[in-house]
Structure 1
Amino acid sequence: MMLTLADREEISRGLVELLEFKDIAVWIGRDASVVSREVTRHGGRDGYRAVDAERAAVAARSRPKPMAVDRCPQLLASVIEWLRRGWSPASIAGRVTCDHGGVRDACRVSHEAIYQWVYAQPVATLRRELVALRTGRTARRGPRPAPAPRIKEPRYLDERPAEVEGRAVPGHWEGDLVIGKAGKTAVATLVERTSRFLILVPLTGRDSLSVSEAIIAAVGPLPATLKQSLTWDCGSEMAMHKDVNATGLPVFFAHPHSPWERGSNENLNRIVREFLPKGVTIPSDPRYRAAIAAEINDRPRKLHAWRKPSEVFTELLKSDASTT
């Protein structure tokens, strides 16, 4: 089964999270060798881009290739004869190795290859040669409808208030997930853009319902002035973003494969990885998570004239309290 664009997006995301190939493979339900070949073929860990890999794969599939039935004259003759006699492609594929044992490898064919050969022939040629499937079909049935978008009606950064860019107005957040071993555990990270204050949000699962409920619970105690917006990546875990919007925290999405559009969050995630390195299980102990967040928020920052994010965020809270 070929990789889909959705699979490639998850691989790209796993690489950003610094996951091993085997962990990404568990995440998308594939073998680790499939992920390894995919990444190696399309730019390596540092250069892999899901959209570019998808385009290259489509281009490779679109190149004209000789059909399996046409590669062997003996096979072609047999397929035509047996189709005329009303044999099914499955029966033909099963019988081929019996009748062509001496050139078995050259003439081996699958029933799917026979279907593809029939559907590739002009209808007039099939009629002239008296070749037909027992079903009478001369073409595949219509394509399946395209899958529904993973995130319905997303609002991207282009719609985000202009004040967010300057970082002068507090209350604008960036968020993402930090994934644990084999993708089985995770924690959400929320970073306030002005103060760089970090909130580690415990998760019971990575599905959209669990993530949205956890985010709502985490930001619930904050004053309205510190809940101006949340910028997330395009992961399916935020598919229920409208539930978060309903609480007064509008959600905006970074463009696909553009982690730099959530720069504060990406930087903080690297620091979180100092405490929760790739390949470890995310601890469920809330005290441990709180200790990690407290340690990170207690580090002085040059951009704050060596004040700590915890101090800056406390000032924001006090400022809000004094104005209400």
Structure 2
Amino acid sequence: MDFEIRDRSVIQGRRRLTREREAYLALVGQGVGTAEACKIVGINIRTGRRWRNGRNPTGRERAAAPITATASPSVRGRFLNEDERLHIADRHRERATVRQIAAELGRDPSTISRELRRNAHPVSGDYRPHAAQARAQARRPHPKISKIAASPELRQAVQDGLNLKWSPEQIVRRLRRDFPDRPELHVTHETIYQTLYVQGRGELRRELTKALRTGRAMRRPRRQAQQRTPRMATEMVMISERPAEADDRAVPGHWEGDLIIGKDGRSAIGTLVERHTRYVMLVHLPLGRTADLVRDALIATVAHLPTHLRRSLTWDQGIEMSLHQQFSIATDTPVFFCDPHSPWQRGSNENTNGLLRQYFPKSTDLSAHDSERLDAVAVELNGRPRKTLGWDTPAERFAKLLAETS
């Protein structure tokens, strides 16, 4: 600071007073007491109180230059806070215009005008910042009583439904159907969740949360995408970075992969489809679908392919591919991952998985099929003439690629 600390106050003129005033308000804003701040800056304690409480300035203080925006509160919300009201009181008594005060606080002029009109003393018309703050807080709307708390009949109907283990949505839909002409019994399912989970509401018994299908006594919010725990141990390379040659299917060697899941998620079969020829290879997973088992099975399946037919593998973001980097190192095949909820980015693989359900129906134990059975199914699929291949079979197209290699 450029001011000097003095033992006693001496009038220094307009510019000096303004700088001391700014320094005093800054110290008060940092939590320094009024007496201590006045002593540090070198002003009389009555002057400091007058600046802080918004009392009428006298003498040269009335002609002091306006406080700059840097002295205004640095943190503000939707409503005026107490510091801003102190600033308004000071500047208003210095005969500053509404637009000047608004510019200094970064507020709309109508906000300042409305504040001076609504929160001044109702009799004298004087604007006192602390009284204005109290009036504004008292005028704020308070939370209203919820609909369930206000209606014993509605509360009982909701509790009866929960006791029958109905979901909140089932309860509200049934109430609307059974009582279409009684809007006082119509609520949303979110209202029921709020009364169950929000502490201090008390409209419904907390033990009723056990009747919900989740059984949770506390509501668990959904995490944002940036807060979710990464599913992969190493960073994924997304499909947007896949070579452009894979998109038009003109270059062979780009594969799509996925798992088809058996009963209760306890068994699985891996599927690989070559984008250029639609050639299918099935991956045997007799012991499960953990990341290490999937990694080893994929390595064994693609190891016999020529190098130029192992250009890339595109997979969804299933956790079974969390060891994708190890697979890439072992096979020299980069792995690219689809965007979430975008199955069309692996169109050939999705189509093939649908065809495979003819052989491996849903809700069946896929571990019952041995590798010979998987090979036989793959032979049948690769022997089907395909319209997209000019009625050639995937096996014929793939055989030509192998012949060219040899």
TM superposition score category, shorter chain reference: 0.5 to 0.7
Match of 1:200 among 271, 279, 282: 282
- Is 1:298 equivalent to 2:379 in the alignment? no
SS of 1:153 mapped into structure 2: coil
* Inter-CA distance 299–148: structure 2 relative to 1 (3 Å threshold): same
CA-CA distance at 1:69 after TM superposition: 3.8
1:232-243 aligned at under 5 Å gives the runs 232-243=315-326
Decide whether aligned partners of structure 1 residues 68 and 288 sit closer, same or farther in structure 2, where only a CA change above 3 A counts.
Answer: same
Query: Is the contact between residue 186 and residue 206 of structure 1 (CA under 8 Å) also seen in structure 2?
Result: yes
* 1:214 matched residue in structure 2: 297
Contact persistence 1:68–1:109 (CA under 8 A) = no
- Quote the residue 1:178 is aligned against: 260
Q: Which amino acid aligns with 1:253?
A: F
> Residue deviations 1:60-98, cap 9 Å, x none?
59x9658454437xxxxxxxxxxxxxxxxxxxxxxxxxx
Q: What secondary structure is seen at the aligned counterpart in 2 of 1:216?
A: helix
Question: 1:258 maps to what in 2?
Answer: 342
User: SS in structure 2 opposite 1:319?
Assistant: helix
**How many angstroms apart in 2 are the aligned matches of 1:64 and 1:279?**
37
Which secondary structure does the structure 2 equivalent of 1:245 belong to? helix
**Partner SS, residue 236 of structure 2:** coil
C-alpha separation in 2, matches of 1:70 and 1:183: 41
* Structure 2: distance between partners of 1:69 and 1:228: 60
3-state SS, counterpart of residue 385 of structure 2: coil
Instruction: State the identity %.
Output: 45
Contact kept? 2:245, 2:251, Cα under 8 Å: yes
1:312 aligns with 397
Structure 2 residue 321 is matched with structure 1 residue 190: no
Decide which structure has the larger Cα Rg and report it. Answer: 2
Q: Distance in 1 between matches of 2:405 and 2:353?
A: 27
Per-residue Cα deviation, 1:189-211 (whole angstroms, up to 9, x for no partner): 00000000000000121111100
Could you tell me how far apart the structure 2 residues matched to 1:148 and 1:176 are?
22
TM-score (normalised: structure 2):
0.46
> In 2, are the aligned partners of 1:298 and 1:310 still within 8 Å (CA)?
yes
3-state secondary structure, aligned to 2:272: strand
- Secondary structure at the residue paired with 1:188? strand
Q: In structure 2, give the amino acid aligned to 1:274.
A: Q
Give the TM-score normalised by the residue count of structure 1. 0.57
d(CA) in 1 for partners of 2:194 and 2:382?
A: 57
The alpha carbon displacement at 1:262 in A equals 0.1
Q: 1:68 to 1:218 in 2, by over 3 A?
A: same
Residue in 2 that maps onto 1:223? 306
Give the CA deviation at 1:226: 0.2
Pick the aligned partner of 2:251 from 169, 178, 187: 169
Partner AA of 2:239 in structure 1? L
Question: What is the SS of the residue equivalent to 1:187?
Answer: strand
Give the drift of 1:320: 1.6
C-alpha RMSD of matched pairs (Å): 2.9
**Cα distance change of structure 1 residues 158 and 68 upon mapping to structure 2, 3 Å threshold:** closer
1:276 matches 2:360? yes
SS of residue in 2 equivalent to 1:191: strand
Count of residue pairs brought into register by the alignment: 200
Give how far 1:284 is off: 3.3
- Provide, for residues 213-244 of structure 1, a one-character-per-residue CA deviation record: whole Å limited to 9, x for no partner: 11011000000000000000000000000011
Q: Deviations over 1:223-273 (max 9, x none)?
A: 000000000000000000001110201000010110000000000000111
What is the CA–CA distance in structure 1 between the aligned matches of 2:361 and 2:250, rounded to whole Å? 32
Q: CA deviation at 1:279?
A: 1.1
Residue 328 of structure 2: which of 245, 254, 259 is its match? 245
Opposite residue 324 of structure 2, the aligned amino acid is H
Q: Do 2:312 and 2:333's aligned partners in 1 also have CA atoms closer than 8 Å?
A: yes
1:275 is paired with a residue whose SS is coil
Structure 1 window deviating more from structure 2 (283-292 vs 159-168): it is 283-292
Alignment of 1:71 onto 2:202: yes
CA displacement 1:258-303 (0-9 Å, x = unmatched): 0000000000000111110111111332111111110111000111
Distance 1:181 1:64 in 2: 37
232 and 70 in structure 1: CA distance in 2 versus 1, 3 angstrom threshold: closer
User: Tell me, what secondary structure is at the counterpart of 1:274?
Assistant: coil
SS of the equivalent of 2:357 reads helix
Q: In structure 2, how many angstroms separate the alpha carbons of the residues matched to 1:281 and 1:109?
A: 41
Q: Relative contact order: is structure 1 or structure 2 higher (C-alpha 8 Å, sep ≥ 6)? A: 1
Task: Say whether the 8 Å CA contact 1:69–1:109 is kept in structure 2.
Answer: no
